[in-house]
Structure 1
Amino acid sequence: MKFSKTIFTLLLVAISTISCSSDDGSNGIDGTNGTNGTNGLDGKTGATGPAGTANVIYSAWLTAPAAVAETIDGTSGMSTSINAPELSEDILAKGTILVYVSFGTGTYTLPYTSTAGGFVNTITAISTAKKIKLFRFRHDAGGTVNLPTSLSWRYILIPGGVAATTKTAKTDYSKLSYEEACARFNIQP
């Protein structure tokens, strides 16, 4: 029996040595990758902006020749003209023309109404291809008020862009003060 016990003990030691070997076995099979999630929805397309004004043309400050008496549409006044070589038929038809007058007390958008000479009068601009006529008339039709050569004039020409639709309205630049126009179009005052 002693022999059997010894064999049994040796057998047990052999089995445990074999089962506790340093061999870890083979690696398991890699798992499969999960499925990718779905992309989020794209945002809504924004509204189309107004046509740009990259081609804005502006003059230096100009002086005009001495004014002469003239009657336009039955209204007597004084007129002179400044050259605007970039003022085309296309700009006249589709664009915007801004004209400003500058004198001692500030810069003003035409038409400009004042009480110069003691009478209510207006200076307005009448644009034609390559020329801008400056016309001053009294409201009471009682004579004329001069347009001194000391006045300075500047024009800004804004070529027309895309035609307005029911969804987009054409921008009304004619209401811009001189300072607003300079800021809007990056013009040095």
Structure 2
Amino acid sequence: MKILKTIFTLLLVSIFTISCSSDDGTDGINGVDGKQGPTGTANVIYSAWLTAPTAAAEIVDGTSGMSTTINAPELTDDILSKGTVLVYVSFGSGTFSLPYTSTAGGFVNTITAVSSLKKIKLFRFRHDQAATVNLPTSLSWRYILIPGGVAAATSKTAKTDYSKMSYEEVCVHFNIQQ
């Protein structure tokens, strides 16, 4: 009986030694969650601050305005159909997301962005359609491209609307240097 007890004890010790190691963590049920790591940029693409070419008068969808185009070589059909394109303008009083409405030139006007494959058209129009307000080359532009991920219908969490976040919030969220 003593031999049987010794063999049984050795067997139990062997089983525990083989099945457990110092590399094993907690089982995930009773363990403590680790602290949240910093948000990364994942597949997010962002440009440097850009200067756009001189704007020219143009009619877009029946609206007269001034337009210019910046190149966005990373802007693909996949991002256009499934992702998010954010465009920002920066000048003396701050950084603003497009569309941006102001009273520059004494008239209410809006600067908007129209995205297409590898390009982003910047378009400024007056709300009263009486004339146009220039789109000066002194403005700085930046785009942020967020590729699509899981379709909203299959996602367990609501899709984040980055267009409702400020430029600073987007940069913090994706760890982008401002």
TM-score bucket of the superposed structures, by smaller chain = 0.7 to 0.9
| Alpha-carbon contact 1:53-1:158 (below 8 Å) kept | no
| 1:63 alignment partner AA | T
List per-residue Cα deviations over 1:19-56 (Å, max 9, x = no partner): xxxxxxxxxxx9xx9xxxxxxxx46xxxxxxxx96100
CA deviation after TM superposition for structure 1 residue 176, in Å:
1.5
Distance 1:157 1:183 in 2: 15
The aligned residue for residue 60 of structure 1 is 48
List per-residue Cα deviations over 1:126-165 (Å, max 9, x = no partner): 0001000000000111110000000000000000000012
**Greater Cα radius of gyration, structure 1 or 2:** 1
SS of alignment partner, residue 73 of structure 2: coil
Distance 1:77 1:97 in 2: 22
List per-residue Cα deviations over 1:80-136 (Å, max 9, x = no partner): 010000000000000000000001111100000000000000000000010000000
CA deviation after TM superposition for structure 1 residue 174, in Å:
1.0
TM-score where L is the length of structure 1: 0.72
What are the equivalent positions in structure 2 for 1:4-153 lying under 5 Å apart? 42=29, 54-153=42-141
| 1:175 alignment partner AA | K
The one of 157, 160, 177 aligned to 2:145: 157
SS of alignment partner, residue 117 of structure 1: helix
The aligned residue for residue 11 of structure 1 is none
SS of alignment partner, residue 81 of structure 2: helix
Distance 1:117 1:105 in 2: 15
* % identical equivalent positions: 80
CA deviation after TM superposition for structure 1 residue 171, in Å:
1.2
| 1:66 alignment partner AA | T
TM-score where L is the length of structure 2: 0.77
The aligned residue for residue 176 of structure 1 is 165
SS of alignment partner, residue 127 of structure 1: strand
Structure 1 spans left out of the alignment, 5+ residues:
1-29, 34-41, 44-51
| 1:89 alignment partner AA | D
Q: Return structure 1 stretches of 4+ with deviation > 3 angstroms.
A: none
CA deviation after TM superposition for structure 1 residue 168, in Å:
2.7
Distance 1:98 1:174 in 2: 7
Structure 2 spans left out of the alignment, 5+ residues:
10-28, 31-39
Pairwise CA RMSD? 2.4
SS of alignment partner, residue 188 of structure 1: coil
Distance 1:86 1:71 in 2: 27
